Each structure stands twice: as structure tokens, then as C-alpha cells.
Amino acid sequence: MLRWIIFILIFGIIDVYAYQAFKTVSKSNWLNILYWVLSLLVIGNFIYRLFNLNRDDFGNAHAYAFGFLIALLVPKIMLLMIMFAEDVFRVPHAIYRYFTEGEVAKGNYMPSRRAFISKIALGIAAIPFASILYGIYRGKYNYKVLKYTLHFEDLPDAFDGYKLTQISDIHSGSFDNMEKVDYAVGLINEQKSDVILFTGDMVNNKATEMKPYMEVFGKLSAKDGMYSVLGNHDYGDYVRWESEEAKNQNLEDLKLVQKEIGFDLLLNEHRFIEKNGERIAIVGVENWGAGGFKKAGDLRKASSQIQKNDFKILMSHDPSHWEKEVIKDDYHYHLTLSGHTHGMQFGIEIPGWFKWSPVKWRYKYWAGIYEELGQYINVNRGFGYLAFPGRVGIWPEITVIELKKGTKKA
């Protein structure tokens, strides 16, 4: 209960400060009342949905309660900062008047807020407000196909021009629009890649979340097959199961779901794709993540029957695995495919020029292509979304990578 009291108190302080900008500009009592009604509805809904919540029953209603709270909270924090900055000048001025004017001021020491400051503050706050609402209603299904060409001197000749499509972090339990998901699956097939690789987190927690979407994802196809690995959410670790047997059965059910869709799930295993007497290795490890995440991945076991000079594509859900173990492995994994970060579903990105997200403070490799020691990793921004029911600036991604023989031309 104490945490809710503290939460309401903090939100109340932010709200009162933000209201200063609103009432300075608004001359309508009805608009002022509407401001407080909207705030109370959003915070009341949030508390109602999340009071005593556990992860077992976190659904779309809870996600939207959280989303609408963020949609109001972020702009109001910006208003608070601007109004507080104005007070840095107003308060000293009021103190000065108190000591110099005394009773002449009749107690009105504090200068009135300036309307143009409030208008600027509201204009600035409107940007994240509109962006977050767009992210909730449209951004989470604003699928982008990102294409890369990577060059390798030791790529087998038969695989020159080979195309792969990577998807990651489906999080099917969060979806609320079957048509949009079906459209995205169509986009994947339109790429006509040789192979489709899925790098984990098919569900939020339970295998049953994927059941309504099995027919849609069952449309996926690729000439050389589809391969997958598990992500941290696929193990059901974030649910309080009635027994360990129920948890284990959920994982077995998810494995069966993946098989029925058409994925060859690699559990610390590998497969070879052969063409014209040459081959490349598709290596898949279970989840391995730094910072408290499950470390079930076993790179040695997955590569136990692969030659050191084989061309290797590694699927590993968490990019921290690449940073901590893969880069310096003497087996030299040419290309690693990861996901997990979602790009935090929030950031600013100008393709080819600039990208930023707060998640960069947690993950060194968080979105896109990186190269270290002659090896590449692609961190997919994710197909779905989790918790916050939207995406702002970091859009859902379908990655297409073409492998080319030789060195990159300047």
C-alpha cells in the first residue's frame, strides 16, 4: 500500500506543476475540469488494473493502462521541468520583493507565470504526447523491412548471393490485431529469402498465447527451411506455475507449436545447408543472457560436430552472449543473429545517420549491424512488443541479409 501512496504523491506533484502551464493558457473552466478528470481516469485505471497484479494475468487491458499512463506522464514531466525552470527565476524575484517592498506588495510577491512560457511548454510537451499515442495505435504495427549486404572472403562460392530473413521477439501474447500480423507475415514471404531464422521469444509466458496465430504464422515458408531458437520468455520463468511439471509441460507444448508452424527448433544444436557440394552451418543455442537472465546456451555443444573452417551463422537470442562469449571464441562465428532488446520500443532513428535509445545504456549492441574482429552481429528490433503496447521511433523489424563473396567495395 505504501508504494501506491508514494506513487500517487509523486504523480500528484507532477500533475499540479503541469497544470500550471495548462491553466495559464486555458481560460475555460470546462477545459480545466477536463484536465483533472482525464488525469484521474488514467491514474485510476492504472491503479485498478495493476493493484496486486502478477505476471500470470498481464493482458492487453493492463498494457493499455500502462500505455495511457506513459502517454500522460512523459509530457507532464516535460511540463514540470519547464515550469520549474521558470520558478528558478520567479522565486528569487519573490524573495527580493518581500524584503524590498514589504507590505506595499500586499502579499503578492510571486510574479505571475508568463503565458508565452506556458505556450512553449505545452507545444514541446505535445510532441511526446502525440508520438506515444501514435506508437500505441499505429507504431507497433509499423513494420519495416531492413536490408543489408554483408561480404565474407571465405563464404563458399555456392552461397554467393544467399539471402536470409531474420525475425525475432514475436511476443504473440501481446497482439491485438490479427490482420496486421497477417500483413507482416505476408511481408516476410514477399522477401523470397532462401531461409527464415527466428531468434526467440515467441510468447510472453505461455505456449497457449500462440494458438490463435498458428494459422497465420503457418503461412511462412522458405526454400531451405525455417530455423528457430528459444528466448528468455519462452521458458515460462516469469509465471508462478502450480507445479514444476506444469512449467515443463508448457515448454514442451511450445516446442510442439514451433514444429507445427514449420520451425526446426535448435536446442544447442546445428544444421548444415548444402549446395553444390558446399555447406554453411546454422548454429542455434538456447538463451544465454548477462545480467541475471537464463544461461542455458551451450556454444560448445551446439558446434561440437562443426569444422573450424565451416562458414557459421549463429542464432543466439540475447546480444550480450555475442559480447561476452562469441566474439572471442576461436571458432570464429561469421554472423550472429540476436534480438531481445526491442530497441526498448522507444528511441530516435534516422536510417543510415543516427540512432538512439535509452536501451544503449544497458546493451552495447542493441539494434542493427555491428562488426568486431571480422565477425558481424545483427540485433533485430523485434517483430512484436511487450508490456508497453506500442513503439515510438523504433519500429518492428523484418531483417533481410544477403551474403556476398569477397570484400566490400569502397
Residue 314 lies in a domain: yes
Both 392 and 270 in one domain: the answer is: yes
Tell me, what's the pLDDT at 99? 76
Q: Is the pLDDT of residue 55 over 80?
A: no
Three state DSSP letters for the chain: CHHHHHHHHHHHHHHHHHHHHHHHHCCCHHHHHHHHHHHHHHHHHHHHHHCCCCHHHCCHHHHHHHHHHHHHHHHHHHHHHHHHHHHHHHHHHHHHHHHHHHHHHCCCCCCCCCHHHHHHHHHHHHHHHHHHHHHHHCHHHCCEEEEEEEEECCCCHHHCCEEEEEECCCCHHHCCCHHHHHHHHHHHHHCCCCEEEECCCCCCCCHHHHHHHHHHHCCCCCCCCEEECCCHHHHCCCCCCCCHHHHHHHHHHHHHHHHHHCEEECCCEEEEEEECCEEEEEEECCCECCCCCCECCCHHHHCCCCCCCCEEEEECCCHHHHHHHHCCCCCCCCEEEECCCHHHHECEEECCCEEECHHHHCCCCCCEEEEECCEEEEECCCCCCCCCCCCECCCCEEEEEEEEECCCCC
In the numeric block, which cell numbers belong to residue 261? 508452424
Angle between helix axes 60-101 and 2-25 (nearest 10 degrees) is 60
Tell me, what's the pLDDT at 54? 64
Asked if residue 398 lies in contact with residue 188, where contact means CB atoms within 8 angstroms, the answer is yes
Number of structural domains (the chain) is 2
**Which residue, chain included where needed, has cell 553444390?**
276
Per-residue pLDDT reduced to its tens digit, 72-110: 999 999 999 998 888 888 888 777 777 777 665 555 666
Domain edge (last residue) among 98, 116, 137 = 137
Residue 15 lies in a domain: yes
Residue 196 lies in a domain: yes
Tell me, what's the pLDDT at 7? 77
Measured CA distances, 173 to 202, 232, 246, 343, 387 (Å): 9, 15, 19, 19, 10
Both 213 and 129 in one domain: the answer is: no
Q: Is the pLDDT of residue 410 over 70?
A: no
Task: Report pTM.
Answer: 0.91
Q: Name the residue among 337, 315, 400 with its Cα closest to residue 145.
A: 400
Both 205 and 66 in one domain: the answer is: no
Residue 410 lies in a domain: no
Q: Is the pLDDT of residue 402 over 60?
A: yes
Residue range 171-199: mean pLDDT, rounded: 97
Both 113 and 152 in one domain: the answer is: no
Instruction: Calculate the average pLDDT of the chain.
Output: 92
Identify any residues that bridge with 152 across adjacent strands, giving them in sequence order: 405
Share of the chain above pLDDT 70, in %: 95
Tell me, what's the pLDDT at 102? 64
Both 55 and 104 in one domain: the answer is: yes
Residue range 330-335: mean pLDDT, rounded: 96
Residue span of the structural domain in which 314 resides: 143-405
pLDDT confidence bin for 336, thresholds 50/70/90:
very high
Q: Is the pLDDT of residue 8 over 90?
A: no
When comparing pLDDT for 52 and 383, which is higher?
383
> 10 Å Cβ neighbour count for 9?
10
Tell me, what's the pLDDT at 105? 57
Tell me, what's the pLDDT at 106? 59
Both 324 and 358 in one domain: the answer is: yes
pLDDT confidence bin for 1, thresholds 50/70/90:
low
Instruction: Output phi, psi for 366, to 5 deg.
Output: -125, -15
Q: Is the pLDDT of residue 4 over 80?
A: no
Both 118 and 28 in one domain: the answer is: yes
Q: Is the pLDDT of residue 58 over 80?
A: no
335-338 and 311-315 beta bridge pairing: parallel
Residue 155 lies in a domain: yes
Both 208 and 186 in one domain: the answer is: yes
Domain edge (last residue) among 137, 157, 172 = 137
Q: What is the dihedral of CA 65, 71, 77, 78, to 10 degrees?
A: 180
Tell me, what's the pLDDT at 95? 79
Residue range 194-222: mean pLDDT, rounded: 97
Both 151 and 58 in one domain: the answer is: no
Task: Give the whole-angstrom CA distance, residue 21 versus residue 356.
Answer: 29
Both 309 and 360 in one domain: the answer is: yes
**Which domain CATH number covers 369?**
3.60.21.10
Per-residue pLDDT reduced to its tens digit, 129-170: 999 999 999 999 999 999 999 999 999 999 999 999 999 999
Both 126 and 175 in one domain: the answer is: no
Both 367 and 231 in one domain: the answer is: yes
Domain edge (last residue) among 106, 137, 168 = 137
Residue 175 lies in a domain: yes
Q: Among 7-11, 286-290, 364-368, name the one with the lowest average pLDDT.
A: 7-11
Tell me, what's the pLDDT at 138? 95
